[in-house]
Amino acid sequence: MAVEMKIPPVGESITEVTVGTWYKKEGDTVKMDEVICGLESDKATFELNAEADGVLHILAQEGDVLPIGASICSIDGNGSAPAAAPAAPAAQKEEPAPAPKAEAAPAPAAEAAPAASSAGQVIEMKVPAVGESVTEVTIASWSKKDGDQVALDEVLCELESDKATFELPAEAAGTLRIVAEAGATLPIGALIAKIETSAGAAKPAAAPSPEPGRPAAEPAQQAASNGQNGYAANHPSPAAAKILDEKGVTAQAVQGSGVGGRITKEDAMKASPAPAEAPAAKPAAPAKPAAPAPQAAPAPAGSRNQRTERMTSLRRTIARRLVSVKNETAMLTTFNEVDMKPVMDLRNKYKDKFKEKHGVGLGFMSFFAKAVCAALKDFPAVNAQIDGDNIVFNDFCDISIAVSTERGLVVPVIRNAEQMSFAGIEKEIVRLAGLARDNKLTIDQMTGGTFTITNGGTFGSMLSTPIINAPQSAILGMHNIVERPVVVNGEIVVRPIMYLALSYDHRIIDGKESVSFLVRVKQILEDPARLLLEM
């Protein structure tokens, strides 16, 4: 009996969905509750599970937009039974047949091979959900190679999203079969690799045995395997095809070691003998290329090599967001200078006792964070953000701290900084910065900030105009501290001066508020006792 599957209700305000990726193909056998495809709405992505065991018949293709309640596929519950039913009668008819016993022996052997392979299990590894706003990831690098033996929970590869980097651990122990190569961008839920358990690993060894007795069985098994992997025997993967084209080697000349005879990237890399023969024919005419040789000589300049590297997901997102902020906000920057001597004197006086008591150093960032929190209470618009035609005011201070890493700039968030002590802020900064440099930050740790502080002074910057960290409305830029001559009480003295820059969205923050906010920060830093007296 066929079970008709329809688009389920996924939310009160959602009236239609888009068919994302089908994880199963037309005619595949599916099991109850097995994920068969992904559905995308304007708010989130959902998975569609099989409602019965049977053979899948797809009614809607990827990219189709369907209303809630529309039919998307059907599952023929009777379709899987006939597949197994004919096998039993066939075996029963072969036994009573007056065929010689010598011929009957190979038949059970051929039947035993599928039985042994069926005992093995193939675990499909799919791209996990890593956050509500993340819809796709890029495979940064594989820690294991195709065909390697892996252990349970062993790291297989690194996945990059537009916000963070994640590790993909093995879900079982067995033989790894890579489906997607490094550099590929996959949607959430897409198949990335397969793991053949120990019993399943015996499949390749059992496959050659039927060759002498039943040559037709091997193509059938290969076809079944190819249907699962999407490649025919001796057909290269996209990465392998590119390498073979560059080497001038045909796919027929390469023996595939992948599942179902697929030619993997490693097979293509090893196919070096063929390209060696191709260049052998060209050296026959070295006399003619002798003419171009003088053209290369007149290039006495230094190296002019160029390298092309694919942008990471994080770098692409940073680029996209920065351009978006410049185009969609009325961003201005106001400047001021701060005499850092009071803060430096206070820090030098207590930094040793502070570290001895709290186990963390006393830096400048905690002073700035506390000063910003105090100023945000007086100027709430600087701590607000635009949501359509509304302004959302935040009665708390989640301070984002910009941290530079090898993969790019990340901005972890210190939650409720207004309630934290100096020691609490310094410990949280050290913890988040360590996670950022080890690529261990989660998405939750990088979202939800209300105001950002960035310190370009650590790299020697004297002055800059930082870009707002959307959807926030303002960002404070710190710079290096330089001794400069200033006038104090009518006298010229040398003081450690830092320039401060506040970039803000003029749509929500007026010039008076931005300048007054920055002056308030300046006052607190030049007289830190105000923090204790809340003045």
Positions marked catalytic: 506, 510
Task: State which amino acid sits at residue 96.
Answer: P
Task: State which amino acid sits at residue 77.
Answer: G
Phi, psi for residue 430 in degrees, rounded to 5: -65, -40
SS3 at position 468: coil
Helix (H) or strand (E) holding 227: helix 217-229
Radius of gyration of the chain (CA): 33
Answer yes or no: are the C-beta atoms of 127 and 137 closer than 8 Å: yes
* Terminal alpha carbon distance of the chain: 77
The per-type count for the chain, helices as H runs and strands as E runs, is 17, 27
Could you tell me the two tokens for 471?
């959807």
The answer for 359, left when phi > 0, alpha when psi is -120 to 50, beta otherwise, is left
Q: Which long-range contacts (CB under 8 A, 24 or more apart) does 264-268 make?
A: 264/146, 264/178, 264/237, 264/240, 265/146, 265/181, 265/237, 265/239, 265/240, 266/145, 266/146, 267/236, 267/240, 268/236, 268/239, 268/240, 268/241, 268/243, 268/244
Could you tell me the two tokens for 169?
């651990």
**Angle value at C-alpha 108, between 102 and 109, nearest 5 degrees:** 90
Q: Strands 481-488, 71-76: parallel, antiparallel or unpaired by DSSP?
A: unpaired
